[in-house]
Structure formats: C-alpha cells, structure tokens
C-alpha cells in the first residue's frame, strides 16, 4: 500500500523536478537565475508568485532565437526570391539596385541605404497575396542552405532557447515573438521551430489590402513598411497587441533595449535576458561594432538593471537545433 502511494506521488510530481528543463545550458549563473525566476513566479507560496494570465514572455527573433549572420536571413530570402522572380521575368529588374540585388550583391544594397532596402523588399515581398507570399517562404526554407553552416535556415535556431521556450510554456507562460523581422515571414516557420503560433508573433509589417471584388476575398501585401517593430516600436506593439506588460523579455541587440527596459521596469518579479554573441568558434562573436545585432546600451546598462547577460560561449553546451 505504501509503495502504491509512493508510486502515485511520483507519477503526479511534475517532470521538471526530476529532469533538467534546460539540458543544452551549461551549469552557470545565467541558467540558475532563469530557473530560480521561473520557480519563484510559479510557486503559489512564494511572494513572487504570478498568476498564469500574467505569465507573458517575449522574445526577439534574429540573434535571440536563431542566427542573424552574415546578414538577416530574411534579406537572404529577399535576394533569392528576387533572383528567382527575375529568372521567370527579367523585366522586373527595373533599377540598378534590383539588378544588383538579384545577383546577391549585398554591398550595393548597403550603399543604397534605406531606399535600396525598401526597393528590394517591395519587389520581393509586396503585390502578392499573404498566402502566396507564405508559400514562397516555405519553398525557400525547403531548399536554401546557409553559406557557412550548410544548414537549412530554420535549423539554425538556438537549441538552448528552444528549450527555454518549451520550459516556460510547461510552466504556464505564454511565449511571444516580438521581432524587427517580417510578421508574415516569421509565421511560416515559428510554429514548427519554436512552438509559437501565429497569434503570438509580433513583427514589422507592411500595410495589406482587402479586396473581394472578384467574389473571393484576398488579402494582399502592399509596398512600403507600415510599422517597424524595433526599438520603442517593441513595447508599443506589445502594449497594443498583448495589452499586458511581460514579466520576461529576451533579446540580443540595442533594438531590444526598450522592450527589456519596459518589461523589467514593471512592478513585481521581472526578468530581462540578453544573449551576448561571444562564440566565434561555434557561431559568431559580435557586439559593439557590428552593423547587425549591435549591442552597446545593453552591455553598458543591462547588468545594473539586473538583466541576465548570457555568454553564449560559456553558457551554452550546444548552439543550433540542427546539425550533429
């Protein structure tokens, strides 16, 4: 009888008490602080307890959940798509910028600045239905491979972060992406890659138009950018879309500073997490001087604000979900 009772207790004990919820994280202060935070806010007997409704965790994507070097993966998609569209109809390359972009000439786009980028985005992202656009992203993910790792882009997700997302959901959190990347682009892979459904993805977006004049309503992506989900745009979008202040925010660049600042300035227990790219061997090492993922404010002010600064080289046992 006692054995049966013990068995029942064991069966009813959450798995998290036995298994390491973050196996790809090395034992470190970072890991310890994250786990302690989660244990505190989920323990009804702890003063830091937070009801499940308010357990909102927000994550940047590029450089936080997956890699972002040598350029944002969505830009690689844009160039690849432009090249493919030009193969079918070369007349779409109406400007020197688009000509250069279709040949993968990143330098030309960098020199053209914001206008060149918009030109490339418009040609590769706009004027198509959301459905067709997302099919093209799915097709690209099937075939495209990263030039350095040879991996499909959606396998260059960070395994330690995939585990953190799952751990948080297991503990009653809702996990959101809040990224400067494109909303429609991310929705194609985020559910499979991270377990994050479409309605929990916030990103940069263009306007869309609704047209039912031919009998079947279609929503089409318009040119330009209507909302940039970066810097102050992140807390603004969170407030507008979620309507609650998160209790955990994770990012990796100064584009995430306002999101972490707003999150951790709230009352009660809050956690800010910054991923510091320190691993030139297994990934890339970059921060203050990097044109992509530039991180200055976070390093200067984050520690004093109590944020966990994750040292990728030190804290992560494994980097990518894909690969051996």
Contact positions toward its own copies, by CB under 8 A? 53, 130, 183, 187, 197-199, 201, 205, 208-210, 212, 216-217, 219, 232, 235-236, 239-244, 258, 261-262, 265
CA 71 – CA 67 distance, rounded (Å): 9
Smallest distance from its own copies to CB 163, Å: 23
The Cα–Cα gap between 93 and 103 comes to: 11
Tokens standing for residue 129? 């239905």
Structure tokens at 111: 């020199």
Residue 31 or 187 having the CB closest to its own copies:
187
Q: Which is nearer to its own copies, 143 or 212 (CB)?
A: 212
b/e per residue 82-100 (b: at least 16 CB within 10 A): beebbeeeeeebeeebbeb
Min CB(219)–its own copies separation in Å: 5
Q: Of the candidates 123, 256, 142, which has an alpha carbon nearest to the alpha carbon of residue 188?
A: 142
CB of 258 to its own copies, least distance (A): 6
- Minimum gap (Å) between residue 8 Cβ and its own copies: 19
Q: Residue 130: left if φ>0, alpha if ψ -120 to 50, beta else—which one?
A: alpha
Closer residue to its own copies, CB minimum distance, 100 or 258: 258
How near is the Cβ of 243 to its own copies at its closest, in Å? 3
CB of residue 271 to its own copies, shortest distance in Å: 16
Choice between 81 and 187, CB closer to its own copies: 187
The H or E element spanning position 175 is strand 174-182
* 16 versus 134: smaller Cβ distance to its own copies: 134
Question: Where do runs of H (alpha helix) occur along the chain?
Answer: 2-12, 29-41, 73-88, 96-102, 106-125, 130-143, 159-170, 183-187, 190-194, 233-241, 257-264, 297-301, 312-315
Nearer to its own copies, 162 or 260 (CB): 260
């Amino acid at each position: 009888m006692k054995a049966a009772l013990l068995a029942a207790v064991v069966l009813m004990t959450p798995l998290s008490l036995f298994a390491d919820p973050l196996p790809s994280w090395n034992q470190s202060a970072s890991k310890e602080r994250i786990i302690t935070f989660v244990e505190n806010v989920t323990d009804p007997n702890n003063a830091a307890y937070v009801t499940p409704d308010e357990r909102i965790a927000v994550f940047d994507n590029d450089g936080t959940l997956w890699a972002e070097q040598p350029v944002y993966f969505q830009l690689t998609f844009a160039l690849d798509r432009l090249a493919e569209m030009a193969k079918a109809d070369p007349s779409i390359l109406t400007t020197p910028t688009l000509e250069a972009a279709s040949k993968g000439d990143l330098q030309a786009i960098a020199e053209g600045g914001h206008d060149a980028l918009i030109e490339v985005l418009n040609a590769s992202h706009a004027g198509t239905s959301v459905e067709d656009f997302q099919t093209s992203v799915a097709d690209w993910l099937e075939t495209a491979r990263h030039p350095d790792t040879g991996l499909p882009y959606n396998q260059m997700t960070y395994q330690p972060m995939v585990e953190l997302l799952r751990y948080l959901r297991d503990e009653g959190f809702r996990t959101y992406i809040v990224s400067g990347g494109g909303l429609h682009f991310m929705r194609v892979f985020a559910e499979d890659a991270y377990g994050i459904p479409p309605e929990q993805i916030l990103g940069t977006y263009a306007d869309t138009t609704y047209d039912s004049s031919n009998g079947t309503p279609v929503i089409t992506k318009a040119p330009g950018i209507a909302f940039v989900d970066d810097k102050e745009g992140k807390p603004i979008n969170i407030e507008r879309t979620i309507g609650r202040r998160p209790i955990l925010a994770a990012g990796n660049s100064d584009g995430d500073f306002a999101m972490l600042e707003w999150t951790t300035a709230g009352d009660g227990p809050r956690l800010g997490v910054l991923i510091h790219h320190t691993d030139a061997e297994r990934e890339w090492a970059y921060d203050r001087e990097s044109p992509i993922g530039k991180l200055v404010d976070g390093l200067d002010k984050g520690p004093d604000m109590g944020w966990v600064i994750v040292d990728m080289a030190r804290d992560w046992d494994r980097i990518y979900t894909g690969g051996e």
